Amino acid sequence: MNHQLSAHQQQRVTGFPVWRRRVLLMGLLICFMALVGKSIYLQSTKKEFLQKQGGNRHIRTLSLQAGRGNITDRNGVILAGSSPVVSVWANPSLVKIDTKKRLALTKLLKIKTSTLNKRLGNKTRKFVYIKRRLSPSLGSEVKALKITGVHLEREYKRFYPAGNMVSHVVGFTGIDGNGQEGVELVRNAELTGKVGQRRIIKDRAGHIIEELEVMSEPRDGQELVLSIDRRIQYLVFRELSRSVAKYKAKAGSAVVLDAKTGEVLAMVNLPTYNPNNPVNSRGKTRNRTLTDVFEPGSTMKPITVAAALEFGGYSPTTKVKTAPGYMAIGSATIQDTHNYDELTVAEVVKRSSNVGSAKIALSLDKKKLWNVFNEIGFGEKTDIQFPGEVSGKVRDYKTWRPIEQATMSYGHGISVTLLQLARAYTVFANDGELKPVSLTKLDQAPIGKSVFSAKAANNVKDMLELVVQAGGTGVRAQVAGYRVGGKTGTAHKLGPKGYEKDKYIGTFVGLAPVSNPRLIMAVMIDEPTTGQYYGGTVAAPVFSSVMSEVLRLLAVPQDAPNINAVRPVESLADEQEAV
């Protein structure tokens, strides 16, 4: 069947002239050749350009920034916040910079030419920071210089608007953005955000033209609301600074607790430091209210007395003989500043009689007394969870000698932190219930544990009020318009060779208002050097001036006429304090 057809025959079969088919074939061939030619041309001469273009269209993985959470006080005022800053970095091997731009850059960044040369000289590294954390506006000026190989990186810097006022509580972050101290350190995991990642297609100009997938969503760090009230914090800071300066003390600390919830409303330490620029802050970053222990001195007496009322068969009116003003136990002697002859239990607290308190303590069961000290939170860390917190020390009752049992009753031979001491006084504000302390804001008052019966606790609360009234050791703690109560304390500091002869710690722990306690404040003045060192002189006035403003600030109804406070003569208060 296969036979050659002539052109004429083909034309007859298809109905088209034969040249038409040939022209079509030729046309297709030319088109094909053109395509091949073009591709050879692109491959050979335009290869570099095209590969670069392709590269610009690369699929990339971008990380999505997540911010660090703010730290605010209980009313939402920012104590720590993050703000964007830019860092200038370079790839030394790719940097192309002329002398003029070099000069402009050093001027902008305020660095020495030698420093810049040194940083850019290290060609083995691919990433060198030239300067970190500049303001965004300065960053755009650097960008405007258009130096090849020099880039900007967006970072966040932590700012602390309250400065040195709350630095011991909030702490600060290091250059990598992680917490170094305080709440920034303990709650670092919550505060830190999670960086997200996504794959994108970018065009030549660097615009993102298509998002392929979100591999992980970025998550900002959580905001942390502290229990601190910045207004109270400021007042405490101001008054404590005054007292520390006035008595030329080495250090000072104060804690204010919400009496009902155990929330820490203020926590101040001196000396302090600036968290925005924590240089030369060595020894100042310690939150002394938690990390330093001291002997509480007479501020311990209300606890001993409460124990005596609870299980020692005492009542506030039980008579205790303190004559002749001193008492020998073994080779040691306990002394009062005066011979008070016979005092009631309430007066032992009011006059701060060591002999009276020792006599009461010696009549109590060792184990039960030790139990009270433990239950009230001495010798164990609080629930505050803070870096560097210490537990203090209460020795086992089995090792107590009589002299130790006696001195411990007025706060010697036992060591506590100021926070523990403040927390212990929550029992007198809550019918004998000890409240846990918290540094974060609470929605409702936590349930504490009962240490004393309501009767014993309230009896002692009334005694605390006597302390600040005429004839007591804490008259200078009085507040106009409010009934307040508290206890003074003065203790020799412990040195390497036992008690230091002329180094003291003056303390005052008080609550207000007595009719329905809202606040508890503990103040400690460490090593006052002006000759006055009694807690009633150096610490009680801090309580008074802070409370008079804070009670007004919190709109606590007055429970006394506003002319109740009688400012005492200085010498009287000093004289009546027992060491």
Partner 1 sequence: MMRANIILYVALILVACGLVTSQHEARSQHSERERLQAVAAEYEAEYGQLQIEQGTWATHARVEEVATTQLKMEVPIPKQIQVIVLDKVGQ
Cα(297)–Cα(492) distance, integer angstroms: 8
Residue pair 222/252 in contact (Cβ under 8 Å)? The answer is no
Residues paired with 213 in a beta bridge: 199
Q: What track of x and - describes contact with partner 1 for positions 164 through 193 (by CB under 8 A)?
A: ------------------------------
Tokens for 83, please give them. Answer: 């703000």
Taking CB under 8 A as the rule, which mask of x and - marks residues 523-562 in contact with partner 1? --------------------------x--------x--xx
Joined together, the tokens standing for residue 200 give 């994108």
* 234 binding partner 1? (CB under 8 A): yes
By CB under 8 A, is residue 78 in contact with partner 1?
A: yes
In this complex, which beta carbon is closest to partner 1, that of residue 338 or of residue 567?
567
Q: Is 218 an interacting residue with respect to partner 1 (CB under 8 A)?
A: no
Structure tokens at 361: 């303590």
Q: How far is the CB of 93 from partner 1 (least distance, A)?
A: 31
CB of 231 to partner 1, least distance (A): 7
Of 429, 480, 523, 539, the one binding partner 1 (CB under 8 A) is 480
Provide the minimum distance between the beta carbon of 546 and partner 1 in the complex, in angstroms, as a whole number: 13
Q: Which of 405, 59, 475, 435 is nearest to 264 (CA)?
A: 435
Specify whether the CB–CB gap between 196 and 219 falls below 8 A: yes
Q: What are phi and psi of 403, to 5 degrees?
A: -60, -35
The encoded tokens of residue 221 equal: 């760090």
- Of 7, 388, 368, nearest in space to 185 by CA: 388
Residue 7: how many other CB atoms lie within 10 Å:
10
Tokens of 417: 């932190």
CB 511 within 8 A of CB 477: no
Helix (H) or strand (E) holding 576: helix 570-576
Span from 201-209, 346-354, 400-408, 527-535 in contact with partner 1 (CB under 8 A): 201-209
Tokens 């303590």 belong to: 361
Listed residue (68, 575, 503) closest to 248, CA to CA:
503
When the beta carbons of 290 and 565 are compared against partner 1, the nearer one is: 565
Min. distance of Cβ 465 from partner 1 in angstroms? 19
Q: Give yes or no for a contact between 135 and 109, defined as CB atoms under 8 angstroms apart.
A: no
Q: How far apart are CA 231 and CA 265, in angstroms?
A: 9
Q: Which of 207, 282, 398, 501 binds partner 1 (CB under 8 A)?
A: 207
Based on the shown chain and the rule CB under 8 A, indicate whether residue 163 belongs to the binding site for partner 1.
yes
Q: Which is nearer to partner 1, 163 or 387 (CB)?
A: 163
Smaller CB separation from partner 1, 513 or 535: 513
> For partner 1, which is the closer residue by CB, 180 or 558?
558
191, 223 contact by CB (below 8 A): no
Number of residues forming the site for partner 1 (CB under 8 A): 31
**82 vs 322 by CB, closer to partner 1:** 82
Residue 140 carries which side chain, given as an amino acid letter? Answer: S
Candidate residues 69, 139, 481, 489; the one interacting with partner 1 per rule CB under 8 A: 481
Nearer Cβ to partner 1 (239/577) = 239
Q: In the complex, what is the shortest distance from the CB of residue 160 to partner 1, in angstroms, rounded to a whole number?
A: 9
Near partner 1 by CB under 8 A: residue from 153, 190, 211, 502: 211
Contact status: 131 vs partner 1 (CB under 8 A): no
Q: Which two tokens stand for residue 566?
A: 């009688």
Query: Could you tell me the smallest distance in angstroms from the CB atom of residue 477 to partner 1?
Result: 16
Per CB under 8 A, 208 contacts partner 1? yes
Under the criterion CB under 8 A, does residue 58 sit at the interface with partner 1? no
Question: Which region, judged by CB under 8 A, interacts with partner 1, from 79-87, 257-265, 410-418, 533-541?
Answer: 79-87
Listing DSSP states for 357-406 in one string gives: HHHHHHTS-HHHHHHHHHHTTTTS--TT--TT----B---GGG--HHHHH
Q: Pick from 130, 162, 422, 519 the residue near partner 1 by CB under 8 A.
A: 162
Element (H, E) at 89: strand 78-90
Contacting partner 1 within 80-109 (CB under 8 A): 81-84
In angstroms, give the least distance from the CB of 416 to partner 1: 30
Q: How far is the CB of 153 from partner 1 (least distance, A)?
A: 15
| Binding of residue 212 to partner 1 (CB under 8 A) | no
Q: How far is the CB of 261 from partner 1 (least distance, A)?
A: 23
Strand-pair partners of 449: 434
What whole-number distance in Å separates Cα of residue 382 and Cα of residue 378? 9
Select 220 or 431, whichever has its Cβ closest to partner 1: 220
Cα 416 to Cα 405: distance, rounded to the nearest angstrom: 16
Q: Enumerate residues 296-355 that contact partner 1 by CB under 8 A.
A: none
**Interface stretch with partner 1, choices 172-180, 231-239, 384-392, 463-471 (CB under 8 A):** 231-239
What secondary structure letter does DSSP report for 298?
Answer: G
Distance CA 340, CA 322 (A): 6
Residue partners of 276: CB distance under 8 A and separation at least 6: 159, 160, 163, 172
User: What end-to-end distance do the CA atoms of the chain give, in Å?
Assistant: 134
Q: For residue 148, what is the DSSP state?
A: B
Q: How far is the CB of 338 from partner 1 (least distance, A)?
A: 32
Task: Out of 298, 352, 353, 409, pick the active-site residue.
Answer: 298
298 included as an active-site residue = yes
| Interface with partner 1 (CB under 8 A) | 67, 70, 77-79, 81-84, 159, 161-163, 207-211, 230-231, 234-235, 238, 480-481, 549, 558, 561-563, 565
Report, as residue numbers or ranges, the catalytic residues: 298
